[in-house]
Amino acid sequence: MSNVSPINKEFRTAPDQQSGQMSNTPASQQKISAANSEPSDDLSRLYDAKVMMVDDEPLNLEVTQIYLEAAGYSQFVSTDDPMKAVALLDSERPDVLLLDVKMPGKSGFEILGEMKQKQMLQDVPTIVLTASSDAETKLQALELGATDFLAKPVDPSELVLRMRNTLAAKAYRDRLANYDRLTGLPNRRTFIERLEWALDYAPRRNKPGAALLIDLDGFKRINDALGPALGDELLQLVAGRIGTVLRLVEILSKFQTDEARPTLSRMASDEFAMLLPVLSRPDSAAQVAQRVLEAVASPFSLGGQELQITCGIGIAVFPDDGMDTDSIVRNASVAMHHAKREKKHSYQFYSHELNARALHRLSLGNELRKAIERNELRLLYQPKNDIQTGKVCGCEALVRWLHPEFGLVGPDEFIELAEETGLINSFGEWVMRAACMQIKAWQSAGLTAPRMSVNVSSHQFLEARLPDTLRRILDQTGADPASLGIEITEGMLLKNAEANVKVLEDLKAMGIRLSMDDFGTGYSSLSYLNSFPLDELKIDRSFMAEIQQDGDRSAIVSAIIAMAHSMEMKVVAEGVENEHQLQFLKAHGCDEYQGFMVSKPVLPKEFAERFLGATYRAQETPD
């Protein structure tokens, strides 16, 4: 019998970052298994441990498992074939092993001996089950690496006690090995493991990531002047400040999966490193670096005096700057030294191109502040058509920035920047007001205004005043709430689900339509969406390419449509570019579509002429 419980398989697919050192993931793969700060001592986590049992007597295996299950353990791997034990250990990497000694074919001693030869298995704590009380046997087992003993037949309370002690000792040992004692942060070794894991994951995700190396200036001098005790305190304070940036990055991140969580670690005495496993664009790392600089810059109060310190930050981005841990750490270090030489308290990318881009974004950010007052924003409109009749039934407002020097800047270039610089709320308000005014303008021109959709950023959502803001804008412009809908993305809902439901319900009560944008790009399941009062689901345009290729994944599109309908949501396909896609969507009951096949986003005048049957005389443009 070789039995691997299904739970284990599930856990192997998603390395667990939340749990502390007692992850279900094997030691060698516990690359991000510990939390970002000092792990909690919560012993209940011990019960998440994966327990492996080897005993030639299946009944013993069964009985031991029942005892352990009763105590709260749930992850088991077992075999009654000692010949298979080492291979199973190798593939399963349990947190603890219960090993019988006397077995036909291969004894527990032999298995311990083989484990000792394998580096990966040396650390697996092993409780040896032995009927013998003879000291010689125990000594031999200890020499071979056993951690503890248990007499057979197994007494349940003794078993549970031994198990708990063994796992607690392992947790303590892991913690010493993986965390920095002074700051409680993951140490260099953990950082490298997590980086390795992030690099493994990067190709699958197709998004860049970055490592930031942060080195304090003149720490040795400060340490000599203050003395080691205050020097230590300063390092703890710095770790705390950078930790705040880390948490902010976590909250603001669009990527809410475990493997995307950032890490801050202490690499050496005055050197910290931050791992950003997933970024929407490589130069986003600059914003994080900027925040770290700001966090470190404000004075520290230490030993009754104020102290100001500076640092240099080097950034290496993967995949571009390397795809192995050595290259990334080395290149981040090269960039860090460069930063220190170039300018006090600054950051540098390893890549020249990214430095130039970060600089461009910096000036873009400065200009962005003036965009509204200089009246440089414009809304374009893209029609949404009914799939059965082909008629225009709505439109989506898409913002553009018309800059005198940079030209037409698309939302992908500046929305994120507006979010990072805190300008998004005023931008969002401008967009909503302009869209509502457009509805009124079309109506005053005697046209039937189509249902209008505007995109809302997650930051506007986090503000939680969105319903109030919208109410005010609707009042001021006189637009009918029923003609307005908002588009939100999956990431927003996942972040703060309960509060979001409340905001969505408020909006819905006002009569505003709620639409889930870009569905399929995030991580939420359709059933999860059921908890939100959504009216419409927009299938992300990346799925249209799948339809084009007639690939297997076109089945996903039809499944999304069917499921969304069963939840009484209307389905809109985004990015429809050709007849083939349209026919597929029609055949599968999609309700509406939007895409270049009908039109690119256009100015309101063109929209009115082409889709609302307007005829304007010269000088009579409503925009």
**526 binds, options ligand C2E, Mg ion, none, Cβ within 5 to 8 A by partner type:** none
3-state secondary structure of 403: strand
Interface of this chain with ligand C2E, residues 353 to 392, rule: CB under 6 A = 382
3-state secondary structure of 229: helix
Q: Is 577 in the site for ligand C2E (CB under 6 A)?
A: yes
Euclidean distance between CA atoms 568 and 535, whole angstroms: 7
The smaller minimum CB distance to ligand C2E, of residues 350 and 381, is found at 381
Nearest distance from C-beta of residue 261 to ligand C2E, angstroms: 24
Pick from 92, 40, 82, 20: nearest CA to 57: 82
Q: Is 537 in the site for ligand C2E (CB under 6 A)?
A: no
Euclidean distance between CA atoms 574 and 594, whole angstroms: 5
Q: Is 517 in the site for ligand C2E (CB under 6 A)?
A: yes
Q: Which residues lie closer than 8 Å to 95 by C-beta, 6 or more apart?
A: 22, 24, 26, 27, 49, 50, 51, 124, 125, 167, 170
Nearest distance from C-beta of residue 502 to Mg ion, angstroms: 23
**412 binds, options ligand C2E, Mg ion, none, Cβ within 5 to 8 A by partner type:** ligand C2E
Nearest distance from C-beta of residue 450 to Mg ion, angstroms: 15
Residue type (1 letter), 340 = K
The smaller minimum CB distance to ligand C2E, of residues 168 and 494, is found at 494
**484 binds, options ligand C2E, Mg ion, none, Cβ within 5 to 8 A by partner type:** none
Q: Is 595 in the site for ligand C2E (CB under 6 A)?
A: yes
CA 101 to chain centre: 45
Q: Is 399 in the site for ligand C2E (CB under 6 A)?
A: yes
Q: Which residues lie closer than 8 Å to 599 by C-beta, 6 or more apart?
A: 382, 383, 610, 611
The piece of 42-50, 153-161, 496-504, 568-576 that touches ligand C2E (CB under 6 A) is 568-576
Pick from 495, 487, 479, 461: nearest CA to 396: 487
**39 binds, options Mg ion, ligand C2E, none, Cβ within 5 to 8 A by partner type:** none
Q: Is 474 in the site for ligand C2E (CB under 6 A)?
A: no
Among residues 306, 405, 412, 579, which is the contact residue for ligand C2E, using CB under 6 A? 412
Question: Tokens for 600?
Answer: 């690119």
**457 binds, options ligand C2E, Mg ion, none, Cβ within 5 to 8 A by partner type:** ligand C2E
The smaller minimum CB distance to ligand C2E, of residues 86 and 582, is found at 582
Nearest distance from C-beta of residue 592 to ligand C2E, angstroms: 13
**270 binds, options Mg ion, ligand C2E, none, Cβ within 5 to 8 A by partner type:** none
For the chain, state the CA radius of gyration. 30
**Size, binding site for ligand C2E by CB under 6 A:** 24
The smaller minimum CB distance to Mg ion, of residues 278 and 397, is found at 397
Q: Which secondary-structure segment (H or E) carries 96?
A: strand 96-100
Q: Is 410 in the site for ligand C2E (CB under 6 A)?
A: yes
Is the omega angle on the peptide bond into residue 153 within 30 degrees of 0, that is, cis?
A: yes
Among residues 431, 470, 516, 614, which is the contact residue for ligand C2E, using CB under 6 A? 431
3-state secondary structure of 449: coil
3-state secondary structure of 268: strand
The piece of 255-263, 454-462, 493-501, 562-570 that touches ligand C2E (CB under 6 A) is 454-462
Euclidean distance between CA atoms 263 and 282, whole angstroms: 17
Q: Is 601 in the site for ligand C2E (CB under 6 A)?
A: yes
Number of CB atoms found within 10 A of residue 500's CB: 20
| Residues near Mg ion, by CB under 5 A | 455, 487, 517-518, 574
CA 237 to chain centre: 26
Q: Is 198 in the site for ligand C2E (CB under 6 A)?
A: no
- Of the CA atoms within 13 Å of residue 607, those in its CB half-sphere come to 29
On whether the CB atoms of residues 20 and 46 are closer than 8 A, the answer is no
Residues that bind ligand C2E (CB under 6 A): 382, 398-399, 410-412, 415, 428, 431, 455-457, 487, 517-518, 541, 574-577, 594-596, 601
